[in-house]
Amino acid sequence: MSEDGERPVEGRLIGGRYRLAERIGSGPAGTVWRARDEHDERDGRDPAENRAPSDRGDARIARYVALKELRLTGEPADEERQRAAHRLLHEARAAARVDHPAAVAIHDVLLDGELPWIVMELVTGESLHAALAARGPLPPAEAARVGLAVLGALHAAHSVGIVHRDLKPSNVLLEAGGERVVVTDFGIGAAQPEPCGGDFVAPECGEGRGAGPASDLWSLGALLRTAMASAEGPLAPLLAQLCATEPEARPAAADVAEALAEAAGASLPEWVTAPPAPTPPAPTPAPASVPPSGTAPEPRRLTPLAALGLLLAKKPERD
């Protein structure tokens, strides 16, 4: 949300397409709205049934979407603010490449005026933060199930070079009436020009050493510790490894998946069990040109000097 005094209101049309319906959330990175896609005419659809395009079997955007207005500070003409807007657009477009059932689907990224907006699938439910506040900690098996889904989304992001950098309970959604867990804000919240810190931020990020995939795993460990009443129990050894100070001391994602699947009583995800894609063979050098079978070779062409020498050699000697 902008801080120049202008606040969008219900009914405003964004990007000439998305009609704001109601505010459904707000945080340091921006405000999330429920909006109607006015280019989609599928009347009578229940908004609670919305899914990402890959889940619906077609490429059209859901009639109701979640619209995130990214927060920017400063005056619209400020160079720093303009750079921040460009950086946020870049981060959002990169995040759209993350393809996993537990990663929120990003349908569109646009500018309305000078403010960046992200069009996402609408997930009807509540955040993990709200669930913990309302009903208390999760049993270890349920926490492991949530963690396994989150880990799958992180692995998909890391596979395309995206680091979340802002994983926390408020960025994990629990879909109502189902088992789906959805991770939001891949790299977007941390793209803000704010100091890196907080209970869910890895030590190396807080120290300015930069964030990598292992930083997200540290944040996953912090999230699991928060989700459970105690760090004791079947996940205790895993949590101790995930909270290692040095990134290289933390376990690999596949090892984390094995521990979480065992605690959740679930099967290992496919990305752990599937064999790695074979490395394509090196190209074979093209063979030397050979005349087709049955074709007489082209006669050798002689230079004039060579032809003269051959003629002299065949001339008979005189008595």
d(CA 310, CA 134): 104
The answer to whether 238 and 258 are in contact (CB under 8 A) is no
What global pTM score does this model have? 0.76
Q: Name the catalytic one among 40, 99, 112, 166.
A: 166
166 an active-site residue?
Answer: yes
DSSP annotation of 240: H
Burial class (CB in 10 A: 0-12, 13-18, 19+), 180: middle
- Using an 8 Å Cβ cutoff, are 253 and 154 in contact? yes
Q: Which domains does the chain have, with CATH numbers?
A: 1-122 (3.30.200.20), 124-272 (1.10.510.10)
Rounded Cα distance, 201 and 64, in Å: 33
Q: Which helix (H) or strand (E) holds 270?
A: helix 270-273
Calpha distance 73→310 (Å, rounded): 91
List per-residue pLDDT tens for the chain, 319 residues long: 444 434 557 789 999 999 999 999 888 778 999 999 998 654 444 443 443 343 434 444 448 999 999 888 777 778 888 888 888 888 888 889 999 999 999 999 998 877 889 999 999 999 999 999 999 999 999 999 999 999 999 999 999 999 999 999 999 999 998 889 999 988 765 444 344 447 899 999 878 888 999 999 999 999 999 999 888 899 999 999 999 999 999 999 999 999 999 999 999 999 999 876 666 666 666 555 555 555 555 555 555 555 545 444 555 555 4
